[in-house]
Amino acid sequence: MPTKRSLIAAALLVLPSLAMAHGPSRGPNGGQMQDIGSYHGELLAQDGRLTFFLFDANDRPLSASGATATAIVLAGGRQQTLTFAPRPDGAALVASGEFRAEPSLRVVVQLVPAAGQPRIQARYAPIEATR
C-alpha cells in the first residue's frame, strides 16, 4: 500500500510535466496558438478573414507554401468550410468567409503540412471575451 510520502513524491514528479503541457496561448502575431500534430499553429481571426501561421515544435516560423488547409468555421449559429491559400510571401495561409470575429467564434483547422503527410487538426476559439 502506498505511503503518504510516496504519493506526495509521485505527485511532485507529475506536476512539472503538467506545467509544460501546451494549451492555448497567444502567438507572436496576436492570434491563438495551439498544438497541431507535431507542429504549433497560430490562428488570427478578423471579421471575414482567417490567417494561419505554422511553427515547428520550438516555435520557429515555418513556410506555409507547401501546406494545404481548410477551416470549419462556426459563427453566428452558421457553419461554413473555408479553404486556405498561401499568402504571397509564403509566411501564412489565409482564408475568407462571411463571419464576425466575436467570442463565440469556433474554428477547426485541418492541415496537410506538405504533400504526402497525414492530415492533422486543431480546434480554436481565437477571440477572447472582453471583461
pLDDT in tens, 21-79: 455 789 999 999 999 999 999 999 999 999 999 999 999 999 999 999 999 999 999 99
Q: Name residue 75's amino acid.
A: A
Instruction: Specify if 4 maps to a domain.
Output: no
List the CATH number of the domain containing 40.
2.60.40.2480
Instruction: Specify if 40 maps to a domain.
Output: yes
pLDDT above 90 (res 18): no
Contact 66, 95 (CB under 8 A): no
Instruction: Specify if 6 maps to a domain.
Output: no
CA distances, 83 to each of 17, 66, 73 (Å): 36, 14, 11
Return phi, psi of residue 70, to 5°.
-130, 160
- Comparing C-alpha atoms, which of 109, 111, 94 is closest to residue 46? 94
Contact 43, 31 (CB under 8 A): yes
Instruction: Specify if 17 maps to a domain.
Output: no
- Comparing C-alpha atoms, which of 42, 46, 49 is closest to residue 26? 42
For the chain, the domain total comes to: 1
4-32 mean pLDDT: 60
**pLDDT band at 129, cuts 50/70/90?**
low
Distance separating alpha carbons of residues 54 and 61, to the nearest angstrom: 6
Range of the domain at 65: 24-124
Cell of 42: 497560430
pLDDT above 80 (res 11): no
Distance separating alpha carbons of residues 86 and 78, to the nearest angstrom: 25
pLDDT at 55: 98
Instruction: Specify if 7 maps to a domain.
Output: no
Least confident window among 12-21, 34-43, 110-119:
12-21
Instruction: Specify if 73 maps to a domain.
Output: yes
Task: Enumerate helices (H) and strands (E) in the chain, giving the number of each.
Answer: 1, 11
